[in-house]
Structure 1
């Protein structure tokens, strides 16, 4: 155990606009994942499994579900007298501090918390990535290099590299160039958003940035590019599974990858458990005509139809003569008799009426309202929405949260269309 040597700070305040309605009522790290978990569970479990028991979680956007999920940290063995988990939010004071302006500002507003614990090192993590990693190895590497800052890096497909900070590395592993989300990246070695800082250096850098006019107060855009000029900044190469699930496509892909014969994410490893609050649910029940092929099925689910290549969360009810393929159904969804779902993501509490068809068809139009969100054929339905019986919803459609039967102008929703709850504003 690191005791007071390391304090971990998890950045968990992201709005997650690219996840659209999945993060409309919750922070991105609180989005359900893998039939049982929340995204932040991986980060919290990595800390505990690495022997780090003092963890600050920096929340901001729609924090309620995240706070309810973590509570006092008991499920991660973080309900401790010494150390533990701390939920930290932006504040207003006589220094006129307000909403986090960027990732570095979130840490700046939490300096008092860090100083009170006086660690030697500060581990900064992004709470919206899915991976298992032993932070102890990175910390030991950081100390061996006598670094001021060490950042974890990984290689990604070159077509995805523009979403990340691009790293250029010297002969000894030192960072010689950092380009934050370039349009045309020249490398696929990217920043994972995992940093080990010497505490004094971190304090100096964020306080210096707070005084600079025009700053975006971001580690990738401001602090790291400046530090590589006069500080010892090194990379720690990570070769395991790591996924930024910040888009609908990457979120869907990460869930589907869990279904492979050899899942790249070792979330079933008994030596590296992923902790999460345990639901009090009855066992899964399969009806006499149920057919299930290559699925994850959560507790309390009742399956009476045919489900294949899908992730089914707790309490989902699948009626008779239903066919579900390549889909993600979150807690307590209800699928009416003789309905079909293909490449669909349902948020919690969605009800699909009988004789409905969601996500099928041959037509593939990019979503008209959110073309940057849906274009590959996935359809998403928001929390607690009600889909009328006999409805046909095409590919790349978005049905917003809390939509009910009366909000549908027609029982046919063509590919690329969006239906949202009418605004109540006058």
Structure 2
């Protein structure tokens, strides 16, 4: 069963009490971005509930703030958007009306802490149509990403999810576009995903530059990367509790976790109950590990139950 059954990927839980979209919205908050748009597609209702009009991220304002763009089908368009570039193209009228100097886009299923002001300063300083935030992933299989080759800061080649990647520099799915240049490009090539048409359009015209990001970044779009992202929390490769950059979310009051079993290197969320043994695992809100159960390197989503006598290792339990 996919983690997105009945919910949009941005509201898949992460780290027990957070949702994936919290990372992008928190980065917007701490980067002092005042106008934030969320383009919805699949299962928007749960996402709308979580967004709560932007209040957790100080985006519930009279002017500006959070704007939710629901699934949209305009004249001459058939069905849902076919990729994120197509979704952006369908919002072209709204972009034209807003008249932005820069359009900053990011995915809602990536874990990272990024000051977007640095990206905007870099983008405006170089005066090109596109800035892509890139990350070196040495030793990893990068065939599921957009792979970039550069000469200094100039992007010389871009391959979208190549079978045989050339190098280990990938896009983090954070892009800064010149507003007018983006609208012009969307009229010409705005179908599919960014990596299929839109990004290559600018690379071919020598209008793309690379902003190198050295911090933690993980695309958790697969089950294995989702599990590894949680193990990174256990190992303090990435910490959710960062003093200067606290992660914000919409939270509901729950009673404290009840622990009568044993814990080792574990994150246990409010409302959870642990009577068994939990080792190097993350236990979601309201989840239950019954007496006699043992879990190791597991992620228990909200309300999951591990029955007495079960022994689980490297599992995601819904």
Q: With the length of structure 2 as denominator, give the TM-score of the two structures.
A: 0.94
1:178 corresponds in structure 2 to: 158
Q: CA deviation at 1:269?
A: 2.3
2:312 corresponds in structure 1 to: 359
Contact residue 256 and residue 309 of structure 1 kept, 8 A: no
Q: With the length of structure 1 as denominator, give the TM-score of the two structures.
A: 0.71
RCO comparison, higher one (Cα < 8 Å, 6+):
2
2:292 corresponds in structure 1 to: 338
Cα shift readout 1:311-352 (whole Å, capped 9, x = no counterpart): 322211112xx1122323222112222222223332221233
User: SS at the partner of 1:21?
Assistant: coil
Q: Structure 1 160/314 Cα, relative in aligned 2: closer, same or farther at 3 Å?
A: farther
CA–CA distance in 2 between the matches of 1:205 and 1:304? 59
CA–CA distance in 2 between the matches of 1:227 and 1:162? 21
Contact residue 16 and residue 302 of structure 2 kept, 8 A: no
2:316 corresponds to 1:380: yes
Matches of residues 130-209 of structure 1 in structure 2 within 5 Å? 130-171=111-152, 173-209=153-189
2:42 corresponds in structure 1 to: 61
Matches of residues 317-336 of structure 1 in structure 2 within 5 Å? 317-319=273-275, 322-336=276-290
Contact residue 91 and residue 97 of structure 1 kept, 8 A: no
Contact residue 42 and residue 131 of structure 1 kept, 8 A: yes
1:220 corresponds in structure 2 to: 195
Q: CA deviation at 1:160?
A: 2.5
User: SS at the partner of 2:2?
Assistant: helix
2:247 corresponds to 1:274: yes
2:225 corresponds in structure 1 to: 250
Q: CA deviation at 1:271?
A: 1.6
1:234 corresponds in structure 2 to: 209
User: SS at the partner of 2:142?
Assistant: helix
CA–CA distance in 1 between the matches of 2:8 and 2:176? 24
Q: CA deviation at 1:274?
A: 1.2
Contact residue 336 and residue 351 of structure 1 kept, 8 A: yes
- Out of 39, 42, 45, the position equivalent to 2:26 is 45
Q: CA deviation at 1:97?
A: 4.2
CA–CA distance in 2 between the matches of 1:81 and 1:349? 37
> How many residues were matched structurally?
318
For structure 2, the residue ranges without an aligned partner over 5 or more in a row are none
CA–CA distance in 2 between the matches of 1:234 and 1:197? 11
CA–CA distance in 1 between the matches of 2:163 and 2:27? 32
Cα shift readout 1:379-412 (whole Å, capped 9, x = no counterpart): 2332xxxxxxxxxxxxxxxxxxxxxxxxxxxxxx
Q: CA deviation at 1:272?
A: 1.4
Following TM superposition, the consecutive aligned residue runs of length 4 or more in structure 1 with deviations greater than 4 angstroms are: none
2:80 corresponds in structure 1 to: 99
Q: CA deviation at 1:152?
A: 0.5
Higher helix share: 2
Contact residue 334 and residue 350 of structure 1 kept, 8 A: yes
Contact residue 313 and residue 331 of structure 1 kept, 8 A: yes
CA–CA distance in 2 between the matches of 1:99 and 1:347? 29
CA–CA distance in 1 between the matches of 2:170 and 2:246? 27
CA–CA distance in 2 between the matches of 1:323 and 1:264? 24
Deviates more, 1:272-281 or 1:114-123: 272-281
